[in-house]
Amino acid sequence: MGLVFLIVVGGMLGWLAAIISGAERSAAKARNVLIGVAGALVAGLVVNPLVGAGDLLSGEYDVDGLLIGLVGATVVLLAANLWRDGELR
């Protein structure tokens, strides 16, 4: 159940990260959500246990874990846009 939660929340965090980074365009919304899912998965599975914010796979949901997922989604989205465009938008 934790993985499904992480994917669903990652999609929402990807959308929010696109708004934060200014990458919200109509043609790229699905890509932004998928990149957000990837960033949230990396942050939730790797970074959260390293900083002691809880393991989302085991069902330990907290605000710290969601914030780390948001930061992960934003960083991955900014990196993807930088790689794709050669500049930040």
pLDDT tens by residue, the chain, 89 residues: 567 777 787 788 777 777 776 766 656 677 777 887 888 778 877 887 788 776 666 666 777 777 887 788 788 878 887 787 665 44
Query: Contact at 8 Å (CB) between 71 and 36?
Result: no
Residue 65: partners with Cβ closer than 8 Å, 6 or more residues away:
44, 48, 53, 54, 56
Length of the chain: 89
- pTM of the entire predicted model: 0.71
Q: Where are the chain's structural domains?
A: 2-85
